[in-house]
Amino acid sequence: MADGSPASAAPVAEDHSARERILSMGGVDKVFGRDVVALRDMNLDVREGDFISLLGPSGCGKSTALRLIADLIHPTKGSIRWDIPRAPGDLSVVLQEPTLMPWATVADNVWLPFRLQGKSRASVQNGIDEALAMVGLDEFQGAYPRELSGGMKMRVSIARAMVTRPRLILMDEPFAALDEITRFKLNNDLLALKDRINSTVIFVTHSVFESVFLSDRIVVMAARPGRVIRELGVDEPYPRTEEFRTSAEYAAHCRGASGALKDAIGAGQ
């Protein structure tokens, strides 16, 4: 949370544009090879506290957008700008695979972002304890990834992403490979965690239900070429609980997002 910024401390219902902008994409194109347009003219303002879902069919450039923001690839045209001074540990990622180092224990895996900043294990042990406690795995510090289930590995991956208390977390379909029961549980936990560390999340998914449950902004994208076709707001208060999943509002938002997604798929044909 930014110091001395009263807006960021306000409840979610507060006017969105009053919150501090942390990142903006302006007219971003990305072309792969000679002529594969993965993304065309993408504009996005990311404000403090946002939970943005990038929703769309495969090939719509949602993962490309995430990789561009992560600075793993660079725009062919346009710009991606951080509007806040960025410190190490302000950005983290969670990928579809848990992406843990198999040779390192759970605690050592969570240590990684700090370790790469040159911080000793002892100096950040409290942070590691806390991050693992947040995802309910404090008992498993000494376990190796192969001893954990898929859901638990993903929790470690999330703990690693949160351990530096980043301002922006990028998530690329993190729960797509998990069973539905585990996915629902992790959705609930993710919201609680985001709230707890006051982070901003950009979340790539192809699930309408997941995007409505999690986000306050849904960016619907279409394929061939990858582009944004619509942005929907989900103006429902946080914290959202299991009851929200069965509410009429949830159903209405899902209908809206489904309709937009259908348009997107139609537009991509």
Partner 1 sequence: MSDMTLGGVVEIVDEEELARARSRKRQAIARYALPVVVLIIVLGGWHLLVTVNEIPHYILPGPDRVFSALVENWASLIDSWWVTITITFLALSLAISVGVGLAVLFNLSKWVELSFFPYAVVLQVTPIVAIAPLIFIYADRTVGLLICAWIVAFFPILSNTVMGLNSSDHNLRDLFQVYGASRWQKLRFLEGPSALPYFLSGLRIAGGLSLIGAVVAEFVAGTGGIGSGLAFRILEASYRLQVPKMFAALFLIIVTGIAIYLLTSFLSHMLLRKWHESAVRREG
Which of residues 168 and 257 has its CB atom nearest to partner 1 in the complex?
A: 168
In the complex, minimum distance from the CB of residue 137 to partner 1, in angstroms, rounded to a whole number = 7
Which tokens hold the place of 162? 């949160």
d(CA 161, CA 119): 16
CB 92 within 8 A of CB 113: yes
- Is 70 a binder of partner 1 (CB under 8 A)? yes
> DSSP assignment, residue 226?
T
Site for partner 1 in 49-68 (CB under 8 A): 67
Residue among 163, 121, 161 at smallest CA distance from 142: 121
Rounded-to-integer distance, Cα 64 and Cα 130, Å: 32
The single residue among 115, 165, 206, 224 that binds partner 1, judged by CB under 8 A, is 115
Tell me if 245 sits within 8 A of 213, measured CB to CB: yes
Selected binder of partner 1 within 116, 133, 192, 251 (CB under 8 A): 116
The set of residues, in sequence order, having a beta carbon less than 8 Å from that of 29 and lying 6+ positions away, is 37, 39, 40, 41, 42, 75, 76, 77, 78
User: Which of 3-11, 17-25, 132-140, 221-229 is the region at the interface with partner 1 (rule: CB under 8 A)?
Assistant: 132-140
Binder among 29, 83, 97, 129 for partner 1 (CB under 8 A): 97
Count of alpha carbons within 13 angstroms of residue 126, beta-carbon side: 1
Name the one range near partner 1 by CB under 8 A: 9-17, 138-146, 190-198, 211-219: 138-146
- Binding flags for partner 1, 189-228, as an x/- string (CB under 8 A): ----------------------------------------
Piece in contact with partner 1 (CB under 8 A), picked from 42-50, 52-60, 96-104, 124-132? 96-104
C-beta of 187: minimal distance to partner 1 in Å?
16
- Going by C-beta distance under 8 Å and a sequence separation of 6 or more, which residues neighbour residue 247? none
CB 24 within 8 A of CB 46: yes
Binding positions for partner 1, 157-196, rule CB under 8 A? 182
Stretch that binds partner 1, among 53-61, 100-108, 199-207, 216-224 (CB under 8 A): 100-108
Cα separation of 68 and 22, whole Å? 15
CA 89 from chain centre, in angstroms, equals 15
Residues that bind partner 1 (CB under 8 A): 67, 70-72, 88, 91-93, 95, 97, 99, 101-104, 112-113, 115-117, 136-137, 139-140, 144-146, 148-149, 151-152, 155, 182
